[in-house]
Amino acid sequence: MNVWDNEFAISIMPALLKGFWLTIQITFVSFAISLAVGLLVAIVRFLKIPVVSKLFDFYVSFVRGTPLLVQAYIAFFVLPLWGMGFDALPTGIVVLGINYSAYCAEVYRSGIEQVPTGQWEASRALSLPPARTWFRIVVPQAVRPIVPVMGNYLIMMFKDSAILSSITILELMGTSLQIGGNYYMYLEPMTIAGLLYLAISFPSSLLIRRLERRLVPAY
């Protein structure tokens, strides 16, 4: 087959790997944001503070109900008009983090709800202060079952970070689109990009499946 140009494929590898590295960095920073924001949202929703908790309920449902692409466009095109313009990269990282924080909040919630009521009651009976109840009793037990779920979301973020290429970020997808556009040769960059995504997410998902078996108690 003479469609696939091997020399071209090798020549674009450095650029693609550079984009790939950026993709990985974006994923981890966004993941940290979504873990932190998600925890905050989950706790506020759990405490059932009037009005505030309802607002956070709406936040979760709204963020989960709208496309990441549109959210990214809004952050990139609309916020500067309101005097909050940032570079594409920080904008993209924050959008991805915020988007997944809504999913993380749901995961935290399921984790917190899995902690048996007896644990709460026992903490109350021992008159533990709320902070210790949360951080020494509830959170350690809530974290165990949600680790694999969070891992799955990390992989999904990794793949979804490709969407940020549409707000001019040159991560793996953006780089391969740019190469494709420059040389008008799309087959090689697209295929390599797909394989690179696969090379990370497939082994990670196997790893998470093993983790799942170890961390989730078999009922």
Partner 1 sequence: MMQGLGVTILVTVLGIFFTLIVAFIAGLTGLSKRWYLRWPSTVFVEVFRGSGLLVQMFWFFYALPVLFDIRLEPLVAGVLALALNEGAYAAEIVRGTIRSRPKGQTEAAIALGMSPGLRMRRILIPQSIPAMLPAFGNVMVDLLKNTSLVSLVTVSDLTWRAMNERTVTGNTVELFLTILVLYYLLSLLLGWLTRWLEKRFALDRKSLAKARPRKAVLVGGRL
- 12 burial (CB, 10 Å; 0-12 / 13-18 / 19+) is buried
The residue within the footprint of partner 1, chosen from 68, 102, 146, 169 (CB under 8 A), is: 68
Query: Concatenated DSSP letters for 7-75?
Result: HHHHHHHHHHHHHHHHHHHHHHHHHHHHHHHHHHHHHHHHHT-TTHHHHHHHHHHHHHHS-HHHHHHII
Binding mask 90-109 for partner 1 (x = CB under 8 A): --------------------
The residue within the footprint of partner 1, chosen from 33, 42, 193, 208 (CB under 8 A), is: 193
Q: Which of the ranges 38-46, 116-124, 193-201, 208-216 carries the binding residues for partner 1, by CB under 8 A? A: 193-201
Q: Which of the ranges 11-19, 76-84, 112-120, 130-138 carries the binding residues for partner 1, by CB under 8 A? A: 76-84
Q: In this structure, are residues 67 and 133 in contact, taking their beta carbons and an 8 Å threshold?
A: no
Examine residue 26 and tell whether it contacts partner 1 (CB under 8 A): no
Examine residue 66 and tell whether it contacts partner 1 (CB under 8 A): yes
Read off the DSSP letter of residue 80: G
The residue within the footprint of partner 1, chosen from 16, 96, 142, 163 (CB under 8 A), is: 163
How far from 208 is each of 40, 202, 203, CA to CA, in Å?
A: 25, 10, 9
What is the C-alpha to C-alpha distance for residues 101 and 96, in angstroms, rounded to an integer? Answer: 9
Binding residues for partner 1, rule: CB under 8 A, are 3, 61-62, 64-71, 73-74, 77-78, 81, 159-160, 162-163, 165-166, 173, 177, 180, 185-187, 190-191, 193-195, 197-198, 201-202, 205
